Structures are given as C-alpha cells and as structure tokens.
Structure 1
Amino acid sequence: MTSLNDTIRDLKNPDNLPKPLPIVHMSNARWFPKICEQGSLQPGECPVFHQNLLYFFYGGAFYRSKKKVTQEPTELPVAFLFAPKLLDNVARYFPYDTGAAQTERYGEPWSQTLRNFDRYAVSNQPNNFEIPCKLIHYIYGSNKKYLRGDHKSNLTDLQDPLPELYNFLESDLTKEGCDHRKCIIECQVEKQVDLKFDSPAWVAFPEGLMKDFVDFCEKYLRDCVPDYYAYDSHKIFTPSEIEAKIEEEASKLVKKRYIKLYDWP
C-alpha cells in the first residue's frame, strides 16, 4: 500500500512551489508562566502516538479545545506563532488533525481510514521547507487556497493515497461537527523548542499574564520582542470561542506578512 510519504517524494518539485508559512503551537494559561520562566516549549506525552510530542498547525492557530463553558482562568488559551525557520524542527506532517481521527470526530469510515497514521505521515527528512510546500502545491495549489480550504480537484489523477485524501476533503462532514480544521496540516515536533534561539514572531495570551510575557521578553529576547495579542475576557468563558478570536488575529498577521507581502501563489 503506497504511503503519502512516498507519493509526495516521488512527485517533482514545481517551479512555482509555494513559499513556506509559519506554524502555531497552542496551549493554555496554566502553562504560560512556566513556559515564560523556562524559555522553552517542552514536548509532552501524546496518548495517540505514545511518545513525547509538541503539536503545531501549519499556517494558523487552528486548535480548538473541547472544554465547555468555565470560570477557570487557567483554561484561557495562549498561542505561539513561529516564523517558517522552525519548520526545520518538524519530524513529520499529516494532512489532517490526527487527534480528530483518533477520537472519531470524522465519523466513519473516515476516522478509521485516517487512523492508518503510517499511510498518511510525511517525514520531514531531510529537514527543510520543501515537504510542507509540496503538500500545499499538490493538495491545494497555493497558500491562499490552503487557508480557504479550497483543495484541488485533480487529486484523483495522482498516485495513492491522494485520491483517497481528495474524497475525504470533498466529503461534507459538518453533520459530524467537523469544521474548517479538517483541511489543515498538522506538524509534529519531537524535541524542545528553545525560545531564546527560536523566538516566536507573535504571541497571544490573556492580558492578566502580561507581566509573565514582559519578564520573558526581558530575560530571553531583549531587543527581539515579538508582536503580541493580549486579550481581555469575561469571567465566564468558552475556550473555543476565544481560540476562534486568536485564530482570526493570527490570520491577519499571516496574510499580511506571509501572503500579501510577497504576493505568493
């Protein structure tokens, strides 16, 4: 059975390969002070792959918590957006959210199909920008179309498993509660990210944690202070609603800095 890893590597590199996009890691306020104090993102044990991993999404802040309405401030979301150079740290890519497949949020038969992770994992060896850009080119055509979830129709003419992936992307899974996040690229990192050397380009956090952010910048970043989005929130909140706002704010930066600036394809 042909893997996506083999197929992507067999496909030629086009002359108009899309430029690399930033990646985003999301967490919550419970861990933000520790992240700021130690100056790093540490991999945590993943119940799906049974190894220590950090998860990122390619091109945006697409993660959504399953937490319901709460008054617990430690559940407020935070986000770290990194320039494309951090793609060197990625171990593998998936053309969908593996957690959603594992928890059967795609319904059947798609959850079972996409839990064949060996078939859909794409290794980032050698570590460079080429792999995610080829995924974008062959599945979506351009960065702009990827961010709109507008996949190509000629996937059915390419090698397996791209026709199967096309059928998944083409399926209307809204009845399963699936939203635009089924059309995203997941990035898995196996080692810690040292924020002093791989400093974030943008950070989102609740404004009550501003002192932690300032101390972090003074301790580790000095003159390289990233852009940030310090948000206010009601005492009673739903994490996913705030995460949607963070995604919107991150999208503005991505489109301005990485799409419009260079008029990428």
Structure 2
Amino acid sequence: MAFSSAISALPVGPDPLPLTHLTDYQRSLAILQSGEISAPTPCPVFNENLVYAFYGRPAYRVNFSNTDAYTSVSYAPICFIFKPETASAKRVFPFDSGGFSLYRASLHHIDKVDDFLLSDQSCAQRLVGMFYGTNLSYYDIRPLSWLTFGALEVDVQNYYNLITGAAHGGDDRNSAIEFQFDAPLSLSGNLLAVIIPHQLAQDAAVAGILSKLNALPIPYKLPGRYRPVEFLMQFRGLVEDFYRRSGYL
C-alpha cells in the first residue's frame, strides 16, 4: 500500500498543532512590515516559490555553519508561531523534504520524495495519532515503540524505521512534518506569537506591530556574541511553554 493511502486511511488523531516558521531578525523585518511571509525566489528542490512551515515543532535551522558567531542582532533567530488553520497547504510531507537524501539508510534506493507526499493537512494529525499517540510525544520526538506493519506496508515500515532511529537518517527534521504553501502567509488574524530577542521585544516600533497583530511577543536573552544554531533547544522550550499555556499540549 502506498504511504499516502495508508496514512489517509487512519483515523484523525489529536487536535491540530500550530505551525512554526523560523528566520533571522534581518529577514523578519520585511515580514513584519509587509504583514506576510512570502517566497521571493524559487525553492531549489521544487523550483517553485514556496513558503515552508513545520507542524508543531520549531525544527528549522537558520542556515549557518556551527562555527559562525555574530555580534549583530541581525542574525538572531526569530520564530513565528501561526494558528493551525492559517492557510491551505499545497504539499504536506512527513519530514523535511530538503533533507531527503539523508534518509537513504532507512528507505529503498528507488524511493522518491514524492512517494511520501501526503494527501492533505489532516494527515499531520493522522500521523501523530498513529506513530506517537499524543501531541506531546510528537513534540518530544518519542514515537511509539511497539508498532508493527503488514507485508504490503513496506514504505510505512521504512518511515517508522526512520523516525525511531532504527537506521541513521538526519537529525530531528527527519520526523518534523513539513507544510508547503504556494501563496504568502498573512500575519493578520493568523499569528499567535513571535519568539524574539528581548532587545527587540522592548522596541516600541516592534511592540507596536505585534500589538496590532494581536501576537504575543516571547522574548529571549541574546548575548553580545552568539551562534544562531545554538538556540534550537531554547526555542523548543519556549514553544513548548507557550503551547502548554495555550492548551495545545
């Protein structure tokens, strides 16, 4: 059975989670001022202008080497948190599609990324219900350990191997559900919160924009010299705390 068909046949799982989009502060200025997240250039994987978001988890890494350190606030990570019902996705994948080549140890060599394309957004809930049981287990990357599959469900078994670590295959993005949008994501009426450096959260102009959007600023401390890639775990904690206070977890 094809992966998409197998997932579509599952019952809808836990309530939907918000969507996250990570960028840096320099890029976030255009987003805040325009009121939307757009894709100015085509994605190199699908050759389309696409906006990407992850389901629930702030899993995206701002694209810097681990050795890069900065003193300018321009490179500080920013995380936009959107309502679950923000927009209709063009594509949904059960993992970060850009990292597909890293998953080969868990998959067959003839598998293509489109073999794992899901039919609609509800499949995110179906996936979580089937492989994790709860939203919290999905957020914590703790898949159920006792699942078994039939002989015809080889792609489902391979995906399970991927997310359980039965084979090597990338980092936590190999199980972060990806949403792709072919139209800009509007902030108005859709934005729940923004994780932002405390220096910027206290800025009157930034605070004014977020207030008009009815979006909660979630400040974090940015030191005088920092590596953007080192904030992932802190962001995970901040997002989890927000979800718990908001009733998503």
What interval of TM-score do these two structures reach, taking the shorter chain for normalisation? Answer: 0.7 to 0.9
2:51 aligns with 54
Say if 2:11 is the partner of 1:13. Answer: yes
Letter in 1 for 2:215: P
Conserved 8 A contact 1:97-1:182: yes
Alignment of 1:217-232 (within 5 A): 217=210, 220-221=212-213, 225-232=214-221
> What is the percentage of aligned positions where both structures have the same residue?
22
Q: 1:258 to 1:59 in 2, by over 3 A?
A: farther
Q: Distance in 1 between matches of 2:107 and 2:28?
A: 32
Q: Deviations over 1:207-236 (max 9, x none)?
A: 343334223235x42xxx222222231232
1:191 aligns with 183
Letter in 1 for 2:91: R
Alignment of 1:102-181 (within 5 A): 102=101, 104=102, 106=103, 108-110=104-106, 113=109, 116-124=112-120, 130-152=122-144, 153-157=146-150, 159-171=153-165, 178-181=170-173
Q: 1:81: Cα distance to partner?
A: 0.5
Choose between structure 1 and 2: higher helix proportion.
1
Q: 1:110: Cα distance to partner?
A: 4.0
Say if 2:238 is the partner of 1:240. Answer: no
SS state of the match for residue 132, structure 1? helix
Normalising by structure 1, we get a TM-score of 0.80
Normalising by structure 2, we get a TM-score of 0.84
Q: 1:226 to 1:25 in 2, by over 3 A?
A: same
Q: Distance in 1 between matches of 2:128 and 2:77?
A: 28
SS state of the match for residue 81, structure 1? strand
SS state of the match for residue 57, structure 1? strand
| Structure 2: gaps spanning 5 or more residues | none
SS state of the match for residue 233, structure 1? coil
Conserved 8 A contact 2:107-2:158: no
SS state of the match for residue 100, structure 1? helix
Q: Distance in 2 between matches of 1:156 and 1:94?
A: 20
Q: 1:37: Cα distance to partner?
A: 0.9
SS state of the match for residue 182, structure 1? helix
| Structure 1: gaps spanning 5 or more residues | 261-265
